[in-house]
Every structure is written in structure tokens, then in C-alpha cells.
Structure 1
Amino acid sequence: MKHIQLIQTILYVENQQSSADFYKQLFRQKPDLDVPGMTEFILAENCKLGLMPNKGIAKILAPAMPDPALGNGIPRCELYFYVQDIEMEFENALRIGARLISGIEDRDWGDRACYFADPDGHIIAWAERL
């Protein structure tokens, strides 16, 4: 799909500030946008990660969709990042208090990967190709 110019994934979060602080430490970078209602991190040339409070998106989604706050703590998505140094990312995630789900292992799909959860239960995977 060459017509797509930018990919932005937005996570719905309970507390924008605490989630922003978590991801600042996880990515070891400041957000590129941090205003009430949205925090954004540019992760690659055409990829952004946004953090939006549940309360804000609920106003847009209602009444067609349930309140996202009803899913807090339930894994609702997975962010899968290929990295140059999986051990460094693993240790950083542990250091900042990310919840370890599965340690670094060779996976049967051809990656070496580990899994963590953020404060809202979203899954974060760090991976390297075998």
C-alpha cells in the first residue's frame, strides 16, 4: 500500500502523564508532541506512537463503541519492535518497571523476542531476527 505515507498507532491510556513518562523511559527519548489529550513519539521516519486518554477518545467513540476504560489492564494490542540490541532493551524495560511477560527466547517464527506489558496492559515486544 504505497499510498500510506505515515503509520500512527494510538494507545488509549488511563493516565496520559504516567504513560508518557513510562514511554519516555522505554524509548529513551522525549515526546515530539505532548499536549493535553495527546502525546506522540516519532519512532521511525514514517511511524509514530500516540497516547490518548481513555476519557478523550470515549467522547468520540460513544455511543457506537464501549468506553475503552472498561478494558484497562486487558492486553488490547501488541507493539512489536525489531531492535539492534535486544539485551539492552530487555534490561531497560526491567529497569523502568515494565511488567515482564516472557523473557528473551528464540521463537519458532524466526525471531528472538521478549515480551513486556505497559501500565495499561498493552504488550510490548522487543525482537531480533535469528
Structure 2
Amino acid sequence: MEIGYVILYVGELERSVAFYRDVVGLAYKFTDAGYAEFDAGGVRFGLYERRRAEWLTGHDVTPGAGGEVVVMVDGVDAYAERLAAAGVQVLSGPVDRPWGHRTVHVADPDGFVVEFAEEIPRARQRR
């Protein structure tokens, strides 16, 4: 078994495409019929217009209700500076986490949390 896609339902597709392409830095692949896709390594990362979600799911979808997208990067502090310069509100960080990540958290245009993380030495060992 493997995860093939991660898809977020978004309010304004073009606004979210611009965020994930221009701010997050994911490689944009295409847009078609209310869906946009990015190159995210081994998993397909997509955005789908929330107004079309009822057709797929049979009910309304609430955006940003929980969870987060984690983007692994080198140099999280530089990303934090770039995000702030782009006018993105930083929710937390940069901060070292005991599980071995240095992180900064922001919200995307629909309120989904996006974490930028780089690996650092673990301060706490797993049990």
C-alpha cells in the first residue's frame, strides 16, 4: 500500500495555486477542471475547488478543519524570512523541536497549516 495523492479542497483555486507555487515553492504541473497538481516527490499533491467537492463527496466540505501539510526543506530560517517578506503570516517559529525538526508554521489562503521543517539532531529519543 502507498499514498498516491494528498488533495486539499480550496476556496479559490488560482489563489491557492499561486500560494503553493510561488510561496511554498512546489513545482506546478497542471490545472484541469477545477483541479491543480504539483510535483511533490513521490506523492501527488493536488488542490481541488471546494465548490466541486459536494459532487465528489456527497456533502459540503469544511476547509482547514485540521491537519497540516509538511514541506521538508534545507534552511528553515531562510524560508521563514522569505515567507515574511512575501507577506505570509507566520503562526510559529522558527523553533527547534525535540523530535529532530526545526520548524516554521504558516496558514495557506484557506486556513490549512503548512509547516516548513528541516531535520536537526533529536533532543529526545523515541521510547
Q: Is the TM value for this pair above 0.5?
A: yes
Q: Is the 8 A contact 1:39 1:52 kept in 2?
A: yes
Counterpart CA distance in 1 for 2:103 and 2:37 is: 25
Moved over 3 A (4+): 27-30
Counterpart residue number, 1:32: 29
C-alpha displacement of 1:122:
0.5
List alignment gaps of at least 5 residues for structure 1.
none
TM-score by length of 2: 0.83
Counterpart CA distance in 2 for 1:26 and 1:8 is: 21
Letter in 1 for 2:44: K
Counterpart residue number, 2:93: 103
Counterpart residue number, 1:50: 46
C-alpha displacement of 1:101:
0.8
C-alpha displacement of 1:23:
1.2
Residue 86 in 1 paired to residue 76 in 2?
yes
Q: How many residues align?
A: 120
List alignment gaps of at least 5 residues for structure 2.
121-127
Among the aligned pairs, what percent are the same residue? 26
The verdict on how the C-alpha distance between 1:58 and 1:98 changes in structure 2, with shifts beyond 3 A counting, is: farther
Counterpart CA distance in 2 for 1:75 and 1:99 is: 18
CA displacement 1:32-86 (0-9 Å, x = unmatched) = 0112311100021x12210001111211111xxx411xx24x4432011221121
The verdict on how the C-alpha distance between 1:89 and 1:48 changes in structure 2, with shifts beyond 3 A counting, is: farther
